[in-house]
Amino acid sequence: MPREYQFQVSPEVAASEHLLNQHVAKQFQISLKEIQKTIVLKRSIDARQKAVKINIKAKVYFTGEDFTEAPIALPEYPNVSNAQEVIIIGAGPAGLFAALQLIELGLKPIVIERGKDVRGRRRDLKAINIDHIVNEDSNYCFGEGGAGTYSDGKLYTRSKKRGDVDRILQLLVAFGATPEILVEAHPHIGTNKLPQIIQDIREKIIECGGQVMFETRVTDFIIKANEIHGVVLQNGDTITANKVILATGHSARDIFELLDRKKILIEAKPFALGVRAEHPQELIDKIQYSCDFRGDYLPPAPYSIVKQVNGRGMYSFCMCPGGVIAPCATSPGEVVTNGWSPSKRDQVTANSGIVVELKVEDFKPFAKFGALAGMKFQKAIEQKAWHLAGETQRVPAQRMVDFSKKQLSTSIPKTSYVPGTTSVELGEVFPGFLTQIMREGFQEFGKSMKGYFTNEAILHAPESRTSSPVRIPRDNYTLEHPQIKGLYPCGEGAGFAGGIISAAIDGEKCALKIAEVLK
């Protein structure tokens, strides 16, 4: 029988099966000759001590034992061409995993996506980066795979439901992601690998008889007697179905406005907002690994930090080691930042959103917009940033210490943000209370992470699309909107997820509920 062991080793030992075998033999007093194979089940980095260690949980197979394991396979997906149809608005993680789940349960998904497929989308990302042109339907947030496609592809979540998380990870592996995501404590996929996985998911949906429509924006809902009957498209066409999953993400402002106009209940929701900070990756490695050089065996270091400042949480968000800051606006006339990284995370800079939690009371100046007050607050900051940086996709930027000292930076070095930066006193971008918290907060961060508070760090403003500024409510049990039968608010845009994995889980959850009703 293979046996499981948990132990700690140096990064060098963790990187070599031969050295791992030697370690296991020595620590657990087994003859090296008896060890046939060591398979790592879980791996995490312990950087709390000066010499960084790797925690390992491994399965050890002994001579004569069969260690071949069946590759992770896709579920049996039936052909659903003639099955009952369910509309899914949005092909982000929530929409795509809802579609797969519906197929598994014998229902036909019709996925309607305003953006382009992954390939077509690339041209629009180039246009925003190089020509400062924002396509309102195809950008870093909109298009096949949703906001998660051209991202860091971090796959960790605060969800406590391990079974649900594992199921999504396994599906991703079956669709071509590296099996390492099942092993790493903090798995990620990377921008270069995600598009192919997303494309394979789409091809599977179509192969099974589902439908996926690109460059098709939903502009209205067909509602009769408080029951949904379908959707209206931008070209005036209609698609009918009496079950609609609304998974349009946190940036679909026109959908929030549509719901508000139609007097369909939505609520202002607190979210977080701040800046995206960029440090040299080498500096973050030094701080996190307490070393001069990271060496060959450790990955570029991530960080995660949270402080209470003036009674508010200020924290790192969507940290991308070895990554790039991306222009994530979804409309002309605004500037928005976020970050991505390639699978190797081999860029020279580390970036992270550093954001402050907001309260609904903060949206008071926009109170006349009711449930849209938070969205208007968010938009006003994005538009101000656009204006201050020169009305292109250049971003207002400031060195970290200069920001804390209210001092305009005399120079901003080239950063990973391709459209470029404009030196701006960032206090001009944000409301006073937010600026004050960040000024103090960065100094507090520097106390915990020695070297973090430095003028080598460049702040880019704003990081504003951290989660949805609006909640689209739903019944806890039926998952339907409380006023509109058959409408299933889903994923991050509705306020039920935050990140790729939790959005995918929520998509599956809505699909399961629909199947429960229809079957």
Which residues contact ligand FAD (rule: CB under 6 A)? 89-95, 112-115, 140-143, 146-148, 151-154, 217-218, 247-249, 252, 255, 318, 326, 328, 338, 340, 491-493, 497-501, 503
Least Å from the CB of residue 238 to ligand FAD: 14
Whole-angstrom Cα distance, residue 429 to residue 497? 28
Q: Looking at beta carbons only, is 21 or 343 nearer to ligand FAD?
A: 343
Least Å from the CB of residue 178 to ligand FAD: 15
Q: Looking at beta carbons only, is 141 or 181 nearer to ligand FAD?
A: 141
User: Which amino acid appears at position 171 of this protein?
Assistant: L
Phi-psi region of 391 (alpha: psi -120 to 50; beta: other; left: phi over 0): left
Least Å from the CB of residue 331 to ligand FAD: 12
Please state the φ and ψ torsions of residue 13, each to the nearest 5 degrees. Answer: -65, -40
Whole-angstrom Cα distance, residue 305 to residue 317? 9
Q: Looking at beta carbons only, is 91 or 457 nearer to ligand FAD?
A: 91
Least Å from the CB of residue 494 to ligand FAD: 8
Q: Looking at beta carbons only, is 5 or 156 nearer to ligand FAD?
A: 156
Least Å from the CB of residue 397 to ligand FAD: 18
Q: Looking at beta carbons only, is 322 or 498 nearer to ligand FAD?
A: 498
Whole-angstrom Cα distance, residue 295 to residue 341? 20
Q: Looking at beta carbons only, is 135 or 421 nearer to ligand FAD?
A: 135
Q: Looking at beta carbons only, is 89 or 208 nearer to ligand FAD?
A: 89
Distance of CA 449 to the CA centre of its chain: 25
Whole-angstrom Cα distance, residue 388 to residue 410? 16
> 39 forms bridges with which residues in the sheet?
59
Please state the φ and ψ torsions of residue 42, each to the nearest 5 degrees. Answer: -145, 140
Least Å from the CB of residue 9 to ligand FAD: 28
Report yes or no: 215 and 115 within 8 Å, Cβ to Cβ. yes
Collapsing DSSP states into helix, strand and coil, what is residue 344? Answer: coil
> 275 forms bridges with which residues in the sheet?
354
Query: What number of other Cβ atoms are within 10 A of residue 68's Cβ?
Result: 7
Please state the φ and ψ torsions of residue 4, each to the nearest 5 degrees. Answer: -100, 140
Please state the φ and ψ torsions of residue 251, each to the nearest 5 degrees. Answer: -110, 5
Reported as type and span, the H/E element at residue 220 is strand 218-224
**How far from 19 is each of 1, 14, 23, 180, CA to CA, in Å?**
22, 7, 6, 19
Least Å from the CB of residue 283 to ligand FAD: 21
Query: What number of other Cβ atoms are within 10 A of residue 493's Cβ?
Result: 30
Q: Looking at beta carbons only, is 95 or 420 nearer to ligand FAD?
A: 95
Least Å from the CB of residue 216 to ligand FAD: 6
Least Å from the CB of residue 24 to ligand FAD: 33
Least Å from the CB of residue 428 to ligand FAD: 25
Whole-angstrom Cα distance, residue 475 to residue 462? 34
Report yes or no: 436 and 310 within 8 Å, Cβ to Cβ. yes
Residue with tokens 């060496």: 295
Q: Looking at beta carbons only, is 480 or 508 nearer to ligand FAD?
A: 508
Q: Looking at beta carbons only, is 60 or 88 nearer to ligand FAD?
A: 88
